């Protein structure tokens, strides 16, 4: 009788826990997204937010929660681990931090929650060996998008003066500004056959990814100063759209000016009269891959640097980096851009090939030397030929 009772209890427990497992399988897989700016900033954070929405749509059972404005100005005294704790309490099993500035905080949170997966976008902890096993890195090879931006800027400028509206100074922003310059130099010298001395490329840093009154330089004022001193094209490296907003104002005043925003596929909307195009991130495909691996138990630590899908750089289902042509792009520049993109895709055009020199005159790449990924990633200075600070 006792054995029979034990058997019945055992069967009941198996059925009970099986029911719990079925219910758990039916629950959504919650992933959390920490955004440095507003989710609707028409720039970098909105690109991530829409990438999360894409993942929700394309992964059955996936559900996104998010916290935006994760920066010292909007959330003074609030730490990344505190925000992660909140997301974990709400059921998040994977948490994505979308800014380089979150590197230390998201690493700390990953160490505190070793049963949760973490994805840091733009970081390098996996490369440096600092990442715990539950933390991976993801970024897109926006260097190509910035090359395209610089290319169309130099194809369009009538003054030869291109302004680059930069955020803060670090390895990422130096390599992106340098990529833009290399694209501009190629168009100016190789396509337009202009005197190299006639191209001026000025970088002005505001101090953060977007305007923080009283903390950063005002990007609107910086853009105005560019246009008022003869720069007729501004390429933006910040997360928000001040460059095109000011360009429209100046055009209304009678100036012949153009702008190239950044990050978000829709950043040219409403500015077709001044916008030459926009290099943008499409986070959906990368998010789908990593969220799926977390859901299915196939997670492994990775450092991922995704390039455009060269078959179609604007394919929303496959290309992490794209470039949308703007309404103000001249026909000749449009045609030349097509050939330039083809050259990048086939490798016939490799702008990170020496000789290239840093601003201080030291060698970056020797004659004929092709940069490795790490040489591009860990860029120590701006290049000779660029004006602007290389360090804080």
Tens digits of residue pLDDT in 157-183: 999 999 999 999 999 999 999 999 999
The tokens for 307 are 């390039």
Would the CA dihedral through 353, 276, 312, 379 be positive or negative?
A: positive
Mean pLDDT of 180-196: 98
Mean pLDDT of 17-25: 38
Q: How far apart are CA 75 and CA 6, in angstroms?
A: 56
With a pLDDT cut of 70, the percent of the chain lying above it is: 94
Does 3 have pLDDT greater than 60? no
Does 132 have pLDDT greater than 90? yes
Does 302 have pLDDT greater than 90? yes
Model confidence at 25, pLDDT cuts 50, 70, 90, reads: low
With a pLDDT cut of 90, the percent of the chain lying above it is: 92
Does 110 have pLDDT greater than 80? yes
Return mean pLDDT, the chain: 93
Tens digits of residue pLDDT in 270-295: 999 999 999 999 999 999 999 999 99
Does 323 have pLDDT greater than 50? yes
Tens digits of residue pLDDT in 212-226: 999 999 999 999 999
- Kindly report the length of the chain: 392
73 or 14: which leads in pLDDT: 73
- What residues form DSSP beta bridges with 164? 203, 235
Domains assigned to the chain: 7-140+283-306 (3.40.50.2300), 142-280+323-387 (3.40.50.2300)
Give the DSSP H or E segment for 380.
none
Residue 26 confidence (pLDDT): 72
Tens digits of residue pLDDT in 330-381: 999 999 999 999 999 999 999 999 999 999 999 999 999 999 999 999 999 9
Model confidence at 21, pLDDT cuts 50, 70, 90, reads: very low
**Cβ(239)–Cβ(263) under 8 Å?**
yes
Helix H segments across the chain?
2-26, 44-58, 80-89, 103-112, 125-128, 142-156, 171-186, 219-228, 242-252, 284-295, 331-346, 373-377
């Amino acid at each position: 009788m006792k054995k029979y009772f034990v058997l019945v209890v055992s069967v009941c427990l198996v059925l009970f826990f099986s029911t719990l497992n079925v219910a758990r399988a039916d629950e959504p897989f919650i992933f959390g997204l920490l955004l440095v700016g507003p989710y609707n900033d028409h720039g970098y954070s909105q690109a991530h937010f829409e990438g999360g929405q894409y993942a929700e749509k394309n992964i059955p059972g996936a559900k996104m929660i998010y916290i935006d404005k994760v920066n010292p100005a909007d959330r003074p005294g609030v730490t990344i681990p505190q925000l992660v704790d909140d997301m974990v309490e709400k059921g998040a099993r994977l948490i994505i931090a979308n800014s380089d500035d979150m590197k230390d905080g998201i690493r700390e949170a990953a160490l505190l929650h070793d049963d949760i997966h973490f994805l840091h976008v733009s970081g390098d902890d996996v490369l440096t060996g600092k990442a715990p096993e539950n933390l991976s890195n993801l970024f897109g090879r926006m260097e190509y998008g910035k090359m395209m931006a610089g290319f169309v800027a130099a194809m369009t400028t009538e003054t030869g003066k291109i302004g680059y509206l930069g955020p803060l100074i670090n390895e990422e922003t130096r390599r992106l500004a340098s990529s833009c310059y290399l694209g501009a130099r190629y168009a100016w010298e190789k396509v337009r056959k202009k005197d190299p001395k006639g191209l001026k490329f000025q970088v002005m840093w505001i101090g953060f990814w977007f305007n923080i009154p009283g903390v950063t330089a005002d990007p609107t004022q910086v853009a105005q100063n560019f246009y008022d001193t003869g720069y007729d094209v501004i390429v933006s490296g910040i997360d928000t759209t001040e460059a095109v907003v000011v360009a429209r104002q100046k055009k209304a005043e009678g100036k012949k000016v153009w702008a190239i925003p950044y990050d978000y596929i829709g950043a040219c909307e409403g500015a077709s009269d001044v916008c030459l195009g926009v290099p943008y991130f499409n986070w959906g495909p990368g998010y789908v891959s990593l969220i799926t691996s977390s859901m299915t138990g196939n997670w492994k630590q990775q450092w991922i640097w995704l390039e455009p899908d060269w078959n179609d750089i604007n394919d929303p289902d496959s290309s992490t980096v794209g470039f949308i042509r703007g309404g103000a792009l001249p026909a000749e520049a449009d045609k030349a851009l097509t050939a330039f993109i083809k050259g990048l895709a086939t490798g016939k055009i490799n702008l990170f090939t020496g000789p290239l020199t840093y601003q201080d005159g030291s060698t970056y790449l020797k004659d004929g030397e092709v940069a490795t990924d790490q040489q591009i990633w860990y860029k120590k200075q701006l290049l000779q030929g660029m004006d602007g600070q290389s360090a804080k």
